[in-house]
Amino acid sequence: MIRSGLITALLLGIGASPVQAQDTDESRTWPPWRTSYFPYVTASPNDGVMGVARLIVFRQADFDDRVSLRSAVAVEAGYSTRGSRFASVRADFPRLADDWRLAGSARAGKQSHFGVPDGTIDRVRYAGWGEITRRLGGRVQFAVRVAGDHTALHGDPVELGARYPYAPTNGCVATQLCIVDDALTQDDAQVRAAVVLDLRDREYDPRRGALIEAGAFAGTAADGYHGAYALGSGWLTPREGTRVTARAGLRALSNAGAIAALHEIPAWDRPITVLGGYSSHRALGEGEQVGRGVLLAGLEVRHDVMNFGGLAALSVIGFVDGGRVFVDPSPLADPDPSRPYNNGDLRLTLDDWTWGVGGGFSLRILRAAQLTMTVGRADGQTRIYVGAGTAW
């Protein structure tokens, strides 16, 4: 499901701009805690249209801070036209202390059509994570995240077996002839460490700069796995009202039986569902492609059609998203000597990528609240997403 957040600024008018050091004056009186609540709407090819209710308790950051909120705890719940539903709580403390920040999330939900939007698989997931970040110096930070996950997939046994042939089932392993049930259930505990270089002018709705991160992770699902990832995004404003954004990333994973890990890059601040979705490939369904190795890239241009300064703006969007997953062949398939690299190991290549093109619009209200709609097309299919904030 789309990670939404419409976004406290919708009612608050919060904003930030150039970099500023944190205030270390212990005698300072910080803004009081406030409460806001409102509904909003998201949409995806997997869920259909989803109505969401949001309640947030927060403390506003300084006007010229890089973040919009010093502290925030948000509770959300939603239900969609295709029967998907979720409830979540997220806490963010980017100004926890000098050089320290803390974030965490817990979410429970059911996605009625996970992966291929017209497929039979539904996903029930209970997941939570907590992350602490320490600034090492300048713009370099070190982050450690711990996470727990319970995933249950239900659907046609043939479709489940084709997408997850290495997932242990019925007490047997993938190298044996397993009779797949109509459900796969798995628990996972994961730890991830990452180094982050944050060169953005501000964390919300950046206009220039870059965000680069790399990390390694390990987990317990499917008798254990490990992996690594790297992501880089850059923002440029070549002229007033026009912004160009580029992003590239990769992930390697050791074990094709770890279901939840197959569909995620454990990125700093917010995990990314792969491959396909509002934050990874807007011309594919969420998690439509699955494999141990993942490559992704994208380019986006936004141009303000109407701009009323800090009050509101309407922008048009054009984008190209691309990506590829590296899939292990079925454990029961005969080896293909003509394709010696036909496995899930990550390789740097542009062969066999799925490319999608699309466009849309974004409505900004006040300084930080954005509602974005995109329409993307790839492989003869059109996918529509509506989400809060920018995709990247």
* Domain parsing of the chain, residue ranges: 9-24+31-388
Q: Exposure pattern of 350-365 as b/e (b: 16+ CB <10 Å)? A: eeeebbbebebebebb
The CATH number for 9-24+31-388, chosen from 3.40.50.720, 2.40.160.50, 1.10.3210.10, 2.60.40.420, is: 2.40.160.50
238-247 burial, b for 16+ CB within 10 Å, e for fewer?
Answer: eeeeebebbb
Over the range 27-56, which residues count as b (16 or more CB within 10 Å of their CB) and which as e?
eeeeeeeeebeeebbbbbbbbbebebebeb
What tokens does 146 get? 């711990």
Please name which of 357, 354, 286, 366 lies closest in space to residue 317, comparing C-alpha atoms. 357
> ∠305-311-316 over CA atoms, to 5°?
20
Task: Identify whether the C-beta of residue 34 lies closer than 8 Å to the C-beta of residue 11.
Answer: no
Kindly give the confidence (pLDDT) of every residue in the chain, 392 residues in length, as a single tens digit, with 9 standing for 90 and above.
444 444 333 334 333 333 344 444 455 677 899 999 999 999 999 999 999 999 999 999 998 899 989 999 999 999 999 999 999 999 999 999 999 999 999 999 999 999 999 999 999 999 999 999 999 999 999 999 999 999 999 999 889 988 999 988 755 554 445 555 678 999 999 999 999 999 999 998 899 999 999 999 999 999 999 999 999 999 999 999 999 999 999 999 999 999 999 999 999 999 999 999 999 999 999 999 999 999 999 999 999 999 998 789 999 999 999 999 999 988 766 666 666 567 999 999 999 999 999 999 999 887 777 899 999 999 999 999 999 877 66
